[in-house]
Structure 1
C-alpha cells in the first residue's frame, strides 16, 4: 500500500564493515603508489569486497581497475605480466548484476595512455584473434555506469582522446563514430580542436571507404570551410581522396602498428586539412 513506509535497511554487519574498511585501505594504498609486491600481499591476504551479501577476495581485475584510475603503471604492468588477460576480466557489478565497466573504457575516460597500451599489448600477446577483437570492440556492460553501452573507441571520439584512439585502432578496434567525430570537431573550442581533429583524422585513416555523412549535404559550406575542400569533396563523394591521405590509409591498413611511429607532423596532419583548422583557430 502506498501509505506504508518502507522498512529501514538492516545496519551493516561487522563482516560488511570489515570488507568496506579493507577495500578503502587498498584503494588508498594504490592511490599512494605503494610497490606492487606490497599491494599484492594486501590483495591476497587482507582485502575483501562485500558482494551480494558475502565477502569475496579482490580479483586481479578489481586491482587493475584501481591501478588504471590512479595511473599506477608499475602495478598495472605487474598484474598484466602475472595474470595476462585474466587481469582484464571484469567482475559482476553488485548494483545491477551485470558486467562492470570494462578496463579499456576506464583507461580512456581517465586518459591513461600508457596503461591502455599495456592492456592492448597483453591482448595481442595472449588472447586469440577473436577474443582480442571481442574485447576491443565490447561496450561497457554495467547498466547504471556513465559509459554504459559505449565502446572504448566511441568514448575516445566523444572525449577527443586522440592518443587513446590511436592505440585502440592500431590494435584492431573498429573505427566507428565518424558522425560523432564531425560533431565533436564542430563543437570544439580552440583548446580542444586539435585533439578533436586528430580523432577525425584517425577514423578516416583506419575506416574503409566511409559513406558520406548526411550532415555534410545539409550544410556544405560550413563543412567545407571546416574540413577543407579536398577532404570535404572526398567525404561527399565528389572527388578522390588527397594523395597524402591515400598513402597513409594504405599504411594504416597494411601495418597499423606503425602509425604511432610516424613523425609528429604527419600524425597531426594526417588528412591534409590541418591548414583549414589552423586558420579557424587563428580567427576565433
Structure 2
C-alpha cells in the first residue's frame, strides 16, 4: 500500500507475485484518489486488483475499498459499497502489518479523523440493517485499529472529541454512541488552540445534550470558579449535582435526539439568542 515504509516494503516485496499485488493495490489507491467512476473502480477491485495474504493473492474486499473511499472522500463509491454490501462493508479488514483481524471499528475512526461527515452519515444508515440493535450499538462504542495504529484504544466518539469534530460527534450520538467523553471535552476546551475553540465548545455542548445524568468530575470540584465561568452557573450547578438541568437544556435534548438536522432547523433569531454556554454551537 502507498503508506508502507521503505523498510517494510523491502520485507513485503519478496516475490514477483507479491510485487505485482503491491503494484495493482497502488493503482487502485490512485484510481480512488482520482475519483474515477464507480463502475470502473468495481471492475478493478473485482478483476484487476489484488492484495497479498497468507502467501497468495486475493481480491480487495468491499471493506478495504471503503477505507480508500473514506480517505479520498469518494462519496459515490462509498454509497455504492454500502448500498450493495450493507453492514458487511463495515467489518474490520485484516491488518496488513500484523496479520490480525481486530473486532473494532476502523471505518468509524477513519471517517472521524478525515472529517467525512457525509460518508459517516451513510455508514450510520447502513448500521440500521443490523438485525440486533445491541450489535450496532456495540459497534459504535468499539475501539478502532490494532495496537500499533495511532487511534488504537479510542472509540470513534472519543476521537471526535479529541480532534474537535462536532458534526461527526453529533451523528454518533444521535445514533446511539455512549456520551462518555465529557472529561476529555472539558480538558480539550481549555487546552486547544484559540482557532479550534469554537469546535471544541460545540463538542462539549453536544455531549451535554446527550448526557443522561451529571457526572462527578474532579476538575469541577478542584477549580469551581474557573469552570463556572466557562460553563455558566446553571450548567455548572447541574454537573455538580446541585440543581436540576436547565429547562433550555432539557428542551434542546429532546430536539437533538430526534435527528442531527433538527437543531439547524430552528428559527435564526432563536439560534442567535441565549445566555447559556451550551447553546453556543448554533
For normalisation by structure 1, the TM-score amounts to 0.87
| Superposition deviation, residue 127 in structure 1 | 4.5
Query: How far, CA to CA, are the matches of 1:74 and 1:213 in structure 2?
Result: 44
Quick one: which of 196, 207, 210 aligns to 2:211?
207
1:237 aligned to 2:241? yes
1:93 aligned to 2:113? no
User: Unmatched 5+ residue regions in structure 2?
Assistant: 1-9
Query: How far, CA to CA, are the matches of 1:53 and 1:164 in structure 2?
Result: 38
Q: Relative to 1, partners in 2 of residues 1:92 and 1:204: Cα closer, same or farther, differing over 3 Å?
A: same
SS in structure 2 at match of 1:49: strand
Maintained 8 Å contact 2:70/2:78: yes
Query: How far, CA to CA, are the matches of 2:169 and 2:39 in structure 1?
Result: 32
The match for 2:266 is 263
User: Unmatched 5+ residue regions in structure 1?
Assistant: 1-7, 278-284
Quick one: which of 51, 58, 61 aligns to 2:60?
58
Q: Relative to 1, partners in 2 of residues 1:74 and 1:232: Cα closer, same or farther, differing over 3 Å?
A: same
Quick one: which of 49, 52, 63 aligns to 2:51?
49
CA deviations on 1:98-147 (whole Å, 9 max, x unpaired) are: 42761011000000000000000111245531221121111114111100
Question: Structure 1: which 4+ aligned runs deviate by more than 3 Å?
Answer: 8-11, 250-253, 256-262, 264-271, 274-277
1:250 aligned to 2:254? yes
1:171 aligned to 2:158? no
Decide which moves more: 239-248 or 35-44. Answer: 239-248
Quick one: which of 6, 16, 19 aligns to 1:17?
19
| Superposition deviation, residue 14 in structure 1 | 0.4
SS in structure 2 at match of 1:173: coil
The match for 2:231 is 227
Give me the CA root mean square deviation. Answer: 2.5
| Superposition deviation, residue 172 in structure 1 | 1.0
Q: Relative to 1, partners in 2 of residues 1:72 and 1:276: Cα closer, same or farther, differing over 3 Å?
A: closer
Q: Relative to 1, partners in 2 of residues 1:83 and 1:271: Cα closer, same or farther, differing over 3 Å?
A: farther
Q: How does 1:121-160 map to 2 (within 5 A)?
A: 121-160=125-164
Query: How far, CA to CA, are the matches of 1:92 and 1:270 in structure 2?
Result: 49
| Superposition deviation, residue 195 in structure 1 | 0.8
Query: How far, CA to CA, are the matches of 2:256 and 2:279 in structure 1?
Result: 22
The match for 1:3 is none
For normalisation by structure 2, the TM-score amounts to 0.87
